[in-house]
Amino acid sequence: ATAPATAEATSSAGAAVSYDAATATDIADDSVAITHSAASGSTFAIGTTQVTATAIDDAGNTSTCTFDVTVADTTSPAITCAAAPGAAEATSSAGAAVSYDAATATDNGDDSVDITYSAASGSTFAIGTTTVTATATDDNGNVSTCSFDVVVTDNTVPALTCPVAPVSVEAT
């Protein structure tokens, strides 16, 4: 039997993989029965599955052979960043706490993709522009990123207090 070298996962369950059926000949049996431990066209899990083909002739003699079916997830997750938040006004010299909407991610081989951020939502961002990168990683180590800018401005005029002028000053 011949299996494809590697099949790409189409879901978290793996992929449907078809392979050529094993063949057998026998000196006393024109039609040897052959079974496979996993049927061609069935869904194989991500990883390597060993398939055993067993031939049984009319006399009950058996012969087996094995081959591997490999399913891999080499496709990176699809990640989408939410729209960047609007500019935030600084609340101190450190900047401002800014919250943003979460990114979303899907993957052909992972039902729950992990997403991490270079700066957490709700944290304090410095005055200026900070690029936040969201990274999606699937169970098989495939990675995708997207990014957006968080802008913190300082448009608040300084508070100025002038001294009160004296009412009268005596000349000396």
- What pLDDT does residue 169 have? 66
Using the Cα atoms of residue 2, residue 18, residue 56 and residue 54 in order, give the sign of their dihedral. positive
- What pLDDT does residue 137 have? 96
d(CA 14, CA 49): 11
Does this model's pTM top 0.85? My answer is no
**Residue reference for tokens 């700066």:** 119
pLDDT along the chain (172 residues), means of 10: 78 93 91 94 95 95 95 95 95 96 93 95 98 96 97 94 78 71
Pair of tokens at residue 139: 């169970």
d(CA 82, CA 147): 9
Closest CA relative to residue 154, chosen from 62, 76, 90, 96: 90
- What pLDDT does residue 2 have? 62
CB 75 within 8 A of CB 144: no
- What pLDDT does residue 116 have? 98
- What pLDDT does residue 135 have? 98
CB 115 within 8 A of CB 135: yes
